[in-house]
Amino acid sequence: MATGRTHRPATRSRGIPEATVARLPLYLRALTALSERSVPTVSSEELAAAAGVNSAKLRKDFSYLGSYGTRGVGYDVEYLVYQISRELGLTQDWPVVIVGIGNLGAALAGYGGFASRGFRVAALIDADPAMTGKPVAGIPVQHSDDLEKIISEDGVSIGVIATPAGVAQQVCDRLVAAGVTSILNFAPTVLSVPDGVDVRKVDLSIELQILAFHEQRKAGEELGAEAGAEPSAEPGATAAAVPPAARAAEDAGRKGPDGDMPAVMPA
Amino acid sequence: MATGRTHRPATRSRGIPEATVARLPLYLRALTALSERSVPTVSSEELAAAAGVNSAKLRKDFSYLGSYGTRGVGYDVEYLVYQISRELGLTQDWPVVIVGIGNLGAALAGYGGFASRGFRVAALIDADPAMTGKPVAGIPVQHSDDLEKIISEDGVSIGVIATPAGVAQQVCDRLVAAGVTSILNFAPTVLSVPDGVDVRKVDLSIELQILAFHEQRKAGEELGAEAGAEPSAEPGATAAAVPPAARAAEDAGRKGPDGDMPAVMPA
DNA sequence: TTGTGTGAAGGGTTTCACAGCT
DNA sequence: AGCTGTGAAACCCTTCACACAA
């Protein structure tokens, strides 16, 4: 997760936990699938399985929305679809602009699940004059000179940044200045925005690195099945205990659970 | 966030919290930028600002890795880059396959930050015979019939799924059967995998829906600045209090904080 | 009898604030 | 004097387990 700025200090009741909000789209997707198969009701158990969570969590989540659901029976699918949609603000439609129409921008523009659920691609914007007018996914690309005009004319409040990292901040600044208050950032940079603007980021490289971390763990686990896998370092010890490594040492006492810096850096 | 399966019940010491792991790539990126500018040391304050977190969190995070850093001075940039890289498992290289070479798959294949940090695109795989042999981002696409062979020959343990949702689960099953133990899923589906396999997902539509939720909140806030914004529903009340709405009612007593279902569903 | 709704317990994460090293 | 490293407090989220409604 990664929302940019504050979200008010929980105004007492009616404050749905952020973790719950993040799962509502999951439930909605599962419910929509059930709805299409004309399933009238689901139990928390079934729906939870379809959404990939456990049923206690799902029930807790729904309890924040209200007491939809019937004891002994389950939840009315259509009714829940509507309630969650409303809660998420999907009963109105949200015009969205995508800035940066490279491979990724094009992929996003063509993404189906987009139009389907309350979102509408209002404009595609790119800085390359050669792109201007070229249709991508059926929508003509507009030049970034017109960014402000597009935003204000269409009343766009959500912007997607799919530009190179180098220009992401300035694109962001222009979007915000023009009135955008929610940004989905695909560029691998930290964006800074004023209070009241939400930023969420999607970052391939971060996700891969997290996977690599766990992958490495698995590899280290094949040997030393029971006890604490890696060698060195006792649990409670706050002591020094410098590991016997090759580092081009200068002074003493840098400690760490394992491995010191090698003479030649691999990066 | 969304890792698929369990992560062992925290084997006592040496267990870096998941939240910390998720931030290490952020620190690493900020540090790499400093390193390129030949900055020798940073304080927790400066680095935290660059990574978009607060300094207390950063220091806590680093404390799980060990006591790198010098009181009164800060952290040695190069040294930290190495330590974090090692912790994340980026000192070895990870061959990755991308399955599904549409717009998105192509974007991922061409993504720069990929090769740079320990990851190597070992193969691009697509089910469309017309794609076979065609180079994308300089790498020839291979047919999905050869998926198992490719995985085992290259010792691939990380797979990226960029296929349509409909085939994602079967692709996932084949990847896992062939030996992949970490999956990054871009398809909008819940994947089920056996224990020991990690799944992380990236989902545009979910991110947008979360933004829409907050966007809706902001809109509702312009009026009713001080008190609890929305009408209806007292804090402590567990009571019924059915709202005066139009729902094609059948029986009594469905309650919720606000709004009932309209006669005509918008979705 | 079935399955929701929810207090209470249990973990995990963030923030605070300051002791301690340089 | 400055900045790290870390117990302790506060907060948030998840899980448990059961009362209660249909």
Residues of chain B with pLDDT under 70: 1-14, 221-267
**CATH number of the domain where residue A41 is located:** 1.10.10.10
Please identify which residue in the block is written with the tokens 């990847």: B175
- Same domain, yes or no, for B168 and B200? yes
* pLDDT over 90 at A186, yes or no: yes
The verdict on residue A64 lying in a domain is yes
Final residue belonging to a domain, choices B205, B240, B257: B205
**Which of the pair, A3 or B85, is modelled with greater confidence?**
B85
Burial (0-12, 13-18, 19+ Cβ within 10 Å), A35:
middle
| Interval A257-262 mean pLDDT | 47
Q: Name the least confident of A47-51, A58-62, B248-252.
A: B248-252
CB count within 10 Å of CB A247 equals 15
- Same domain, yes or no, for B160 and B196? yes
Rounded, the Å distance between the CA of A23 and C1' of C10 is: 22
The nucleotide lying nearest B74 (C-alpha to C1') is D3
CA B67 from chain centre, in angstroms, equals: 28
Name the pairing type of β-strands B119-126 and B94-99. parallel
Residue A58's pLDDT is: 98
Final residue belonging to a domain, choices B176, B205, B234: B205
Q: Residue A185 to residues A165, A181, B157: CA-CA distances in angstroms?
A: 10, 13, 28
pLDDT single digits (tens) A6-24: 343 333 346 999 999 999 9
The verdict on residue A107 lying in a domain is yes
The verdict on residue B167 lying in a domain is yes
The verdict on residue A120 lying in a domain is yes
Please identify which residue in the block is written with the tokens 């059930």: A34
Across chain A, mean pLDDT equals 83
Convert B175-213 to b/e letters by CB count within 10 Å (16 or more is b): bbebebbbbbbbbbbbbebeeebbbbbbbbbbbbbbbbb
Token pair listed for B71: 């009181």
- Same domain, yes or no, for B83 and B98? no
- Same domain, yes or no, for A106 and A63? no
- Same domain, yes or no, for B200 and B99? yes
DSSP letter string over A165-186?
HHHHHHHHHHHHHHT--EEEE-
Residue A266's pLDDT is: 33
Beta bridge mates, B182:
B158, B198
The nucleotide lying nearest A42 (C-alpha to C1') is C3
Amino acid of residue B99: V
Residue A114's pLDDT is: 75
Judging contacts by C-beta atoms under 8 Å, the chain B residues touching residue A23 are none
Residue B242's pLDDT is: 30
Nearest by CB to residue B107, choosing from A103, A192, A196, is A103
Q: Does B138 touch chain A (CB under 8 A)?
A: no
Q: Which nucleotides of D are covered by protein (CB under 7 A)?
A: 1-7, 12-17, 20-22
The verdict on residue B136 lying in a domain is yes
Q: Does B119 touch chain A (CB under 8 A)?
A: yes
pLDDT single digits (tens) A103-138: 999 999 998 777 677 899 999 999 999 999 999 999
Q: Residue A253, CB, less than 7 Å from strand D?
A: no
Closest CA–CA distance from residue B130 to any residue of chain A (Å): 19
Rounded, the Å distance between the CA of A169 and C1' of D2 is: 32
* pLDDT over 90 at A68, yes or no: yes
Q: What is the pTM of this model?
A: 0.85
Indicate the annotated binding residues of B.
100-105
* pLDDT over 70 at A256, yes or no: no
- Same domain, yes or no, for B187 and B99? yes
Contact A63, B256 (CB under 8 A): no
- Same domain, yes or no, for A52 and A67? yes
Q: Does B218 touch chain A (CB under 8 A)?
A: yes
Residue A252's pLDDT is: 38
Residue B14's pLDDT is: 63
What's the domain range around A76?
Answer: 18-88
The verdict on residue B219 lying in a domain is no
Final residue belonging to a domain, choices A62, A88, A114: A88
Residues making up chain B, counted from first to last:
267
- Same domain, yes or no, for A118 and A190? yes
**CATH number of the domain where residue B146 is located:** 3.40.50.720
Q: Residue B73, CB, less than 7 Å from strand D?
A: yes
Rounded, the Å distance between the CA of A56 and C1' of D16 is: 9
Residue B112's pLDDT is: 79
Number of domains into which chain A is organized: 2
Residue A83: name the closest of B19, B262, B217, B48 by CA.
Answer: B262
Residue B249's pLDDT is: 37
**Which of the pair, A264 or A156, is modelled with greater confidence?**
A156
Residue B240's pLDDT is: 29
The verdict on residue B153 lying in a domain is yes
Residue B199's pLDDT is: 98
Q: Residue A204, CB, less than 7 Å from strand D?
A: no
- Same domain, yes or no, for A109 and A190? yes
Interface mutation target, options B61, B176, B208, B260, chain A, most CBs of A under 10 Å: B208
Q: How many CA atoms lie within 13 A of B21 on its CB side?
A: 23
The verdict on residue A102 lying in a domain is yes
| Interval A72-81 mean pLDDT | 98
- Same domain, yes or no, for B104 and B84? no
Contact A217, A223 (CB under 8 A): no
pLDDT single digits (tens) B80-93: 999 999 999 999 99
Residue A95: name the closest of A182, A38, A48, A156 by CA.
Answer: A156
- Same domain, yes or no, for A43 and A127? no
- Same domain, yes or no, for A117 and A198? yes
pLDDT single digits (tens) A207-248: 999 999 999 999 876 654 433 333 333 333 322 223 323 333
